[in-house]
């Protein structure tokens, strides 16, 4: 941690001696500016400000709990009451820190939760500095290890599975996780690349579902689908240009529903690996839905067809 009382050597004059600006440094700076300006005129290029130092300062000023890109082994940041409470109740979660405001700590005490670590009492602005002023944190933030990801071979072929083909928006994936938990989905399978990390915004949108639905991360989605088919799992892709409507497909248990990213849909190889490619037949003027809404509708239709809901 940086010591706020530390100042670099030479930044403060010795006691009793007035601070004098370095005139030689000013002259060297002026001379360098004139040379750089002349060089720009000779080459015919404009002198452009160097924005790299600003970018380095921006990266250095990034909140310390904001995960860097693709650091799946780094700490997981959970915030919001439902996300943190579900994590506290999950014995597989390993906590590093738990920060709470006075009101949040009182609520934890009233719920008689067994806390995995001693909570740190902080002010609300401290939490906002960590997760951002727009985050709906409800005075509660946790730093944990990521949950272990099961192997595709460990998946029990039963019920409904969800397969996400490069869906990158964390809000959508979080909402899909929440719906999956509501319908008792066996597992969610996603790609190691082109998928959001299970932290921050995604965890908040999932509202605790990270603790209930296993997430299997695979390097190759087509191979993963074939592995499911080897276990006699029916693989059904969902796409707006599907060959038939979902209600016309003879669905069976177990079944995997494969969803593509908004706009792109299913990739070619993913589509060709599916047993069926279906579409949702909507009666209104708008024929397409947000991927998380389409997932909720497809899960209800599928679960009803295979007897998982009445």
In this structure, are residues 224 and 194 in contact, taking their beta carbons and an 8 Å threshold?
no
Going by their DSSP bridges, the two strands 95-100 and 120-121 should be labelled as: parallel
- CA 164 to each of CA 118, 179, 262: distance values in angstroms, whole numbers, following the listed order: 37, 14, 11
How big, in percent rounded to 5, are the helix, strand and coil portions of the chain?
Answer: 35, 15, 45
CA distance linking residue 120 with residue 147, whole number of Å: 23
Query: Do strands 95-100 and 160-165 pair parallel, antiparallel, or not at all (unpaired)?
Result: unpaired
Residues 6 or more apart whose Cβ sits within 8 Å of residue 81: 104, 107, 138, 140
**What pLDDT shows up at residue 57?**
39
Give the separation between CA 199 and CA 105, rounded to whole angstroms.
Answer: 22
Looking at residue 144, what is its pLDDT?
Answer: 94
Per-residue pLDDT at 37 exceeds 70: no
76-144 against 152-305: fold identical: no
Ordered alpha helix ranges (H), 49-193? 52-60, 81-88, 102-110, 124-131, 170-182
Domain boundaries, the chain: 76-144, 152-305
CA dihedral 22, 23, 28, 29 (to 10 degrees): 80
> How far is 188 from 161, CA to CA, in rounded Å?
6
Q: How confident is the model at residue 132 (pLDDT cuts 50, 70, 90)?
A: confident
Distances (CA, A) of 36 to 12, 44, 45: 31, 12, 11
Find out whether 191 and 166 touch, Cβ atoms under 8 Å.
yes
Per the model's pLDDT, the better-predicted residue between 302 and 6 turns out to be: 302
Alpha-carbon gap, residue 295 to 301, rounded angstroms:
10
pLDDT band of 178, cuts 50, 70, 90? very high
pLDDT, one tens digit per residue, over 203-261 is 999 999 999 999 999 999 999 999 999 999 999 999 988 989 999 999 999 999 999 98
Q: Are 212 and 92 in contact (CB under 8 A)?
A: no
Q: If phi over 0 gives left and psi between -120 and 50 gives alpha, with beta otherwise, what is residue 100?
A: beta
Q: Is the pTM of this model over 0.75?
A: no
Strand runs labelled E in the chain: 76-79, 95-100, 120-121, 140-144, 160-165, 188-191, 215-218, 234-238, 244-245, 255-260, 276-279
Measured distance CA(216)–CA(155) in Å, rounded: 9
**Bridge pairing between strands 140-144 and 76-79:** antiparallel
Q: Which one is the CATH code of 152-305: 3.40.1280.10, 3.20.20.80, 3.40.50.150, 3.40.50.300?
A: 3.40.1280.10
Q: Which CATH code of 1.10.287, 3.90.320, 3.30.1330, 3.90.1200 fits the domain covering 76-144?
A: 3.30.1330
pLDDT digits (tens, 9 = 90+) for 58-114: 334 433 333 333 345 678 899 999 999 999 999 999 999 999 999 999 999 899 989
**In whole angstroms, what separates CA 175 from the centre of its chain?**
11
CA distance 288 to 294: 8
The share of the chain scoring above pLDDT 70, in percent, equals: 76
Which pLDDT score, from 0 to 100, does residue 310 have?
66
Confidence of residue 8 (pLDDT cuts 50, 70, 90): very low
């Amino acid at each position: 941690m940086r010591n706020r009382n530390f100042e670099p050597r030479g930044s403060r004059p010795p006691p009793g001696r007035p601070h004098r600006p370095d005139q030689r440094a000013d002259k060297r700076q002026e001379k360098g500016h004139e040379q750089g300006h002349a060089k720009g005129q000779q080459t015919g290029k404009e002198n452009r400000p160097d924005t790299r130092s600003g970018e380095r300062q921006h990266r250095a000023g990034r909140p310390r709990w904001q995960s860097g890109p693709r650091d799946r082994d780094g700490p997981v940041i959970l915030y919001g009451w439902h996300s943190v409470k579900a994590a506290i109740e999950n014995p597989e979660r390993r906590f590093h820190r738990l920060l709470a405001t006075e009101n949040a700590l009182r609520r934890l005490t009233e719920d008689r939760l067994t806390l995995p670590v001693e909570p740190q009492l902080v002010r609300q602005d401290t939490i906002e500095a960590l997760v951002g002023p727009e985050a709906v944190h409800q005075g509660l933030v946790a730093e944990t290890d990521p949950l272990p990801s099961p192997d595709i071979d460990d998946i029990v072929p039963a019920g409904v599975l969800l397969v996400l083909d490069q869906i990158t928006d964390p809000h959508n994936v979080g909402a899909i996780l929440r719906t999956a938990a509501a319908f008792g989905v066996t597992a969610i399978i996603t790609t190691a690349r082109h998928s959001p990390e299970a932290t921050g915004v995604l965890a908040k949108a999932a509202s605790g579902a990270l603790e209930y639905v296993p997430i299997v991360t695979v390097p190759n989605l087509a191979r993963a689908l074939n592995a499911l088919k080897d276990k006699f799992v029916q693989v059904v892709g969902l796409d707006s240009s599907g060959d038939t409507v979902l209600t016309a497909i003879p669905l069976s248990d177990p079944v995997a529903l494969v969803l593509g990213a908004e706009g792109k849909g299913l990739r070619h190889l993913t589509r060709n690996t599916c047993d069926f490619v279906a579409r949702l037949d909507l009666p209104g003027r708008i024929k397409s839905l947000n991927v998380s809404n389409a997932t909720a509708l497809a899960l209800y239709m599928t679960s009803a067809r295979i007897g998982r809901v009445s």
